[in-house]
Amino acid sequence: MRDIDIMNEYTLEEISEIVGGILTKVEDVKISRLGPPLLADANTLALALNEDEIENLSKTKAKAALVPIGVTSELISTIEAERPRLAMMKLLHLFYMPPESTAGIHPSAVVHPTAKLGENVSIGPNVVISRNVSVGKNTKILANTYIGRSVQIGENCLFHPGCNIGDNAIIGNRVILQHGVSIAADGFSFVTENPNNVENARQEGNVKEDNTDQKIYKIPSIGSVVIEDDVEIGANTCIDKGTIENTVIGEQTKIDNLVQIGHNCKIGKGCMIVSQVGIAGSCKIGDRTVIAGQVGMADHIEIGSDSIIMAKAGITRSFPEKSILIGAPAVPRKEFIKHMKTMKKAEDLVNKFKDYEHLLKD
């Protein structure tokens, strides 16, 4: 908890102006915290963004609440917001406490003499900065992070503890890497002397049994990873470097925890990739595409811009822009619904058949 003497306090008028809301004031109150209605006290702004929380306002101890447009209360002050979640984001920035970082370079950090550090850079305990690295001004690299050789890092970045950045990666401005992110590890790329089972299955439709002595050879990755401006990457996510060209993550893209992005992938701008997604090598994802949790994507697939891939979908082929995909193997949403209706009709037919089956036997 933040100490009371360093708490920020805001009037309702100040908060309403920050979020661009409509204030209906019942009484004066200073706001020093945010919280749900049932956990709020007199100095907490209750966040009532949905129907359940709005109902809880009748039980709250708060004297003020953030609510959607059209919601008012005679008992407490309200700030109506057209986009309550956007308003909440602005308020959370007011009360957010950034992680503590070292002023300058921590004594336990190892920084190669050829590295170039910008103004006001923070290098935490046990950080390793390899040769020919450049770090832009105001960037914070927290404890136990490794930066490989010739990596370029932009300004105002924040790398949380335990990140690993491989050689030659290029990272833009205002990039956030959460705990344990891996950037530019070798891609999962191998080759055999003779066609392997997967190749045979693709070409001939069956698996041969004469590959018992097959040797598997690693294909080295000499590309790297480019992460453009304003990207955020969640904890323990892995982005592999390209085999020859670079893997690219477009600007403003946000990636959740535990995501795997394979070698040579090109992820567009403004994409949202949710937890436990696996994207195989050489895929191309268009701008502003949303990929929900646990989606699996085969290699060399292209998804057009402004598409939505629903949770647990299995993507086995390419789709054009503005596709909404569901199922495994994935199909367009309208086609999926059609299939489900057909299956329901088939079930009804089977049940009807059972009613008359004895007549057929007779």
Q: Annotated catalytic sites, by residue?
A: 263
> Under the phi-then-psi rule, with left for phi > 0, alpha for psi from -120 to 50, and beta for the rest, what region is 289?
beta
**What angle separates helix 84-95 from helix 12-19, to the nearest 10 degrees?**
120
Distance CA 175, CA 233 (A): 8
**CA-CA distance, 290 to 280, in Å (whole number)?**
17
* Residue with tokens 């308020």, as numbered in its chain: 91
How far, in Å, CA of 238 to CA of 258, rounded? 7
Select from 223, 155, 219, 218 the least CA-distant residue to 183. Answer: 223
Beta bridge partners of residue 191, listed in sequence order: 217
Asked, as a colleague might, if the bond just before 329 is cis with ω within 30 of 0, I would say yes
Task: Please give the angle made by the CA atoms of 32, 38 and 44, to the nearest 5 degrees.
Answer: 10
Give residues with Cβ within 8 angstroms of 20, minimum separation 6. 81, 82, 87
Give every CB contact of residue 274 below 8 A, 6+ residues apart in sequence.
256, 259, 290, 291, 292, 293, 295, 311
